[in-house]
Structure 1
Amino acid sequence: MATPRDDAQEVLPDPLATEPEFLVGVDGPLPTPQIPKGRRAAATFIFLTVALDMLAMGMIAPVLPRLITNFLNGDTVNAAQMLGIFGTLFAAMQFFFSPVLGSLSDRFGRRPVVLLSNFGLGFDYMLMAWAPALDWLFVGRVISGLTASSIPTAMAYMADVTPREKRAAAFGMLNAAFGMGFVLGPALGGVLGNVNPRLPFWVAGGLSLINGMYGLFILPESLAKEHRSPFSWKRANPVGSLSLLSRNRVLLGIAGLLLLGYIAQQSLMNVYVIYADYRYHWTDRTVGLSLALVGIFSGVYGALLVKPVVAWLGERKAMVLGFVGGAVGYSMFGLSATGVLFWAAIPFLNMMSFAWPSAQSIMSHEIGPSEQGQLQGAVNSLRGIAGLFGPGLFTYVFSKSIGLHAPVQLPGTPFFLAAAMLVAGLGLMIVIRQTRTT
């Protein structure tokens, strides 16, 4: 298998474009990024990288809460609170290091950042598999938050190699990669977790290391040297990175929508498993299969429906459709007294797959090629901000809605709160549109 050649830095015009296109930035027209010379396997590898990363993360999703519960001798309430702390810690690492890695990729290229993160994630999962106590599991979560910060670089890679008008579809395909990872990940993690709760960590670590080794041979660089920008701590720190999002009204408005959506999404990441265990008494296998169904719909929407829906409705209306579907899905989760309505809510919830790529495509149009890494780092910092508040918020709300001392016995409260946030996002979208048309 051949290694990436030095001429991977050379660029050719987009073969799909019939005439030059330009981005409009605050400083005037910016030339559209050109496609790096090399095989189509470059973009395909990024797709596979995201899918394998999410496969590894999905494998540990059904077993991490239960492993924490085992360390706490079966105390569900304390386990929910500790799970919130773990989630907050993971998000804090994402918040601080996503803009750093994004800016480093703008300076040194996407390839080294993606590969180093793959190897780091693999060794980290093995550390968590070995962890003899909750403290070691805690350390592993810190490292995983750092190493998982490569996802924005993968997004920037796709922005590098995709024409402007096709970015929503490209980001949709990456969302499909997320879904494909979760199709197999949770199901496989649930099955392996029934054998041994640590086994999914070992397998996830091995997959990440294999993925990194594969990338050493197949992944060329996507960012040409003339499009690289000097590294600056002023831009790489979270505050400096987020300042990019305040550059104009479009970026700022979409950033606000994404933040609300990301906070709402924390209810799934931090309450889903423990909620299903508490309310429906599902096994690891059932939880894994339900998460796999989430991944199936996410993959189908991302791979097959994002492109035609965006072409039909446009990016802004596709975002509205996604937020409406997400609010309906979260509400159904909260209302479901049995698992039947819970399962039926999944197709509605996954309509958010239309919102994420549309938002990122709109934002990527507003900046030039030398800042795509910084933009994706800033977007991931929004996820980090959501993660700083979301895990503690939703697990606290859940812990206060169950148990003997709960003011109101309403286990679905976290999902009702998530639905309310998406409704608020719809209101913000209307205000932004009215402001832009006056």
Structure 2
Amino acid sequence: MSIDPRTHKHALAFIIVVVLLDAIGFGIILPVTPKLIIDLTGMDLSNASQLGGYLMFAYALMQFFAAPILGNLGDKFGRRPIILYSLSVLATGYAMMAFAPTLLWLFAARMVAGAASSTFSLAYAYITDITPEEKRAQRFGMVGAAFGGGFILGPVIGGLLGEYGARLPFIVAAILAAVNVAYGYLVLGESLSLANRRPFELRRANPVGALVALRKYPLVSGLALAYFLYMLGHLSLPSTWTYYTMEKFAWSEWQVGLSLGYAGVFMIIVQAFLIRWAIPNLGAYKAGLVGLLTMAIGFTGYALSTEGWQLYGWLALAALSGFVSPAFQSIMTSQVPANAQGELQGALSSLNSVTSIVGPLLMTKLFSTYTGLDASYYLPGAPFLAAALLTVASLILFVPLVRHFGLTTLGRRNSVTAS
């Protein structure tokens, strides 16, 4: 099925719903993963957190190699067939997790899912295809809001279903992914015109090649490093939040899911509404600055909280970090031609994968080190303190880079960016 998404009023809605359902499937498993690991291994929570890190590592390692290939295939064959493929394999991965009889089976399932986890980056490429440059940041924010909406529903549903068994949320996630495939097949049109397609080149499709290709764009390669540090810190939340709140505040799966759903409410407020005000009025640079600062403060707050209720205030503040990704995307996509947007998103997805390889291992190791029986100092919030420091490092790179290239007013209404 093919439509012209530039004239079809539902094209944007199609891709947003795809991201929404995909995000629900991702969020639904977060509150129950520790319980599933403990059920399969009999480990305590501190040691189970390290296995959780290894599971995320296996997923990210496969994503690292697969994402640039899928991104470049999208530049050759169009976005639609690659999105449908990704969703089909993702449904298979969730089904394998739901019925995993052993830990080895669980690892295999995460690797299968990782090999198809390009939906989000393809969604960004799709939006880039159909959106004028001056409106991209707002629409990137809408895609982020769809993820936020899924992140509201997913963990809450997962926490609720987790009360009836650790495997039930994985079954529901598989069903949602399958529904997503059917929906995409029926209504999702192609966004990339034949004129903007390019031949597939293996050199550009391998993860290292995709990242090396960013060197052609000096600002993009510099911001990619800043984005890497930001994402490395941000991964402390999905990597350790469940373990942290269960360890420090003895939260149940339902309480964990509720807190993540609460975070998702603020995420969607920021990315669906505030970002649409922030970019035109502040510009991408200042919006990114606000996002990085509030993330550093918020994550420090997580680590130092002494009561569970205090986390909710910090979650609300740190939600402003939702400005960061649309701001970075707006600046970077403005520096790349139309026929390389898929390659850019594939490279950024690979960068996310690198952080997802390193981040969970680092953060869960920090958590385990400072919560184990032999810990020299009990500090379950250590991963969040590390995240705050990484965010400050990202900020130190971001500010001079954007100022040097004269893009401090990019995206701001009634302004002219210096050349």
Normalised to the residue count of structure 2, the TM-score between the two structures is 0.95
Match for residue 232 of structure 1?
201
Q: Distance in 1 between matches of 2:207 and 2:349?
A: 10
Amino acid at match of 1:115: L
Q: CA deviation at 1:434?
A: 5.6
Identify the range of structure 1 (149-158 vs 241-250) with the bigger mean alpha-carbon deviation.
Answer: 241-250
Q: Does 1:304 align with 2:273?
A: yes
Distance (Å, rounded) in 2 between the aligned partners of 1:57 and 1:436: 37
Q: 2:223–2:397: 8 Å Cα contact kept in structure 1?
A: no
Look up the match of 2:372.
403
Check if 1:170 corresponds to 2:139: yes
| CA distance in structure 2 between the partners assigned to 1:242 and 1:50 by the alignment | 25
Shift of 1:192: 0.5
Q: Which amino acid in 2 is paired with 1:286?
A: Q
Distance apart, 1:308 and its partner CA = 0.7
Q: Displacement, 1:436?
A: 4.2
SS at structure 2 position matched to 1:235: helix
Is 1:78 aligned to residue 47 of structure 2?
yes
Q: Structure 1 residue aligned with 2:6, among 10, 29, 36?
A: 36
**1:52-63 correspondence to structure 2 within 5 Å:** 52-63=21-32
The gaps in structure 2 that reach 5 residues or longer are: 407-419
- Secondary structure of the residue aligned to 2:60 is helix
Provide the C-alpha distance between the structure 2 equivalents of 1:97 and 1:189, rounded to a whole number of angstroms.
27
The change in CA–CA distance for 1:436 and 1:43 in structure 2 (over 3 A counts) is closer
**Do structure 1's residue 365 and structure 2's residue 327 form an aligned pair?**
no
SS at match of 1:86: helix
For 2:85 and 2:246, locate their aligned partners in 1 and report how far apart those are by CA, in whole Å. 36
- Which segments of 5 or more consecutive residues in structure 1 lack a partner in the other structure? 10-34
Q: Which secondary structure state, in structure 1, belongs to the residue aligned with residue 28 of structure 2? A: helix
Cα drift, residue 123 of structure 1: 1.8
Cα deviation per residue 1:122-162 (whole Å; 9 max; x = unaligned)? 12211110111111111100011112223211110000011
Q: What's the secondary structure of 1:47's corresponding residue?
A: helix
Q: Deviations over 1:347-380 (max 9, x none)?
A: 1111111110110111111111111111111111
Alignment of 1:352-391 (within 5 A): 352-391=321-360
SS at match of 2:189: coil
From 80, 88, 94, the counterpart of 1:119 = 88
Q: Which moved more, 1:220-229 or 1:337-346?
A: 337-346
The alignment partner of 2:42 has SS state of coil
| RMSD value, Cα | 1.4
1:184 aligns with 2:153: yes
Residue 435 of structure 1 and its aligned partner are, at CA, apart by: 4.4
Question: In structure 2, what is the equivalent of residue 243 of structure 1?
Answer: 212
Contact 1:125–1:205 (CA under 8 A) maintained in structure 2: yes
Residues 1:203 and 2:184 aligned together: no
- Tell me if 1:257 matches 2:219: no
1:190 match: secondary structure: helix
Deviations 1:215-248 (A, max 9, x none): 1110110000111010001000011111232222
Three-state SS of the structure 2 residue aligned to 1:234 is helix
Alpha-carbon separation, structure 1, partners of 2:213 and 2:136: 20
Aligned to 1:286, which of 243, 255, 260? 255
CA contact (8 A) 1:36 1:224 kept: no
Indicate if the aligned counterparts of 1:36 and 1:223 stay in contact, CA closer than 8 A. no
Task: Supply the distance in 1 between the matched residues of 2:108 and 2:206 (Cα, whole angstroms).
Answer: 23
Q: Kindly tell me: are residues 117 and 436 of structure 1, through their superposed partners in 2, closer, same or farther at Cα, counting changes over 3 Å? A: closer
Correspondence for 1:428 among 397, 400, 414: 397
Q: Does 1:340 align with 2:295?
A: no
Say whether the 8 Å CA contact 1:58–1:181 is kept in structure 2.
yes
Q: Is the 8 A contact 2:19 2:119 kept in 1?
A: no
AA paired with 1:162? Answer: T
The count of aligned residue pairs is 407
Instruction: Look up the match of 2:18.
Output: 49
Conservation of the 8 A alpha-carbon contact between 1:245 and 1:251? yes
State the alpha-carbon separation in 2 of the partners of residues 112 and 347 from structure 1.
37
List structure 1 segments (4+ residues) > 3 angstroms apart after TM superposition: 433-437
SS of the residue 1:195 aligns to: coil
In terms of mean alpha carbon deviation, does 286-295 or 361-370 score higher? 361-370
Q: How many angstroms does 1:95 deviate by?
A: 1.1
Contact 1:72 1:78 (8 Å CA) reproduced: no
* Contact 1:102/1:377 (<8 A) preserved: yes
The one-letter code matched in structure 2 to 1:45 is F
Q: Compute the displacement of 1:433 (Å).
A: 4.4
* Equivalent-residue separation in structure 2 for 1:212 and 1:98 (angstroms): 19
- TM-score if structure 1 supplies the norm length? 0.91
* Residue 159 of structure 1: aligned partner: 128
Amino acid at match of 2:154: G
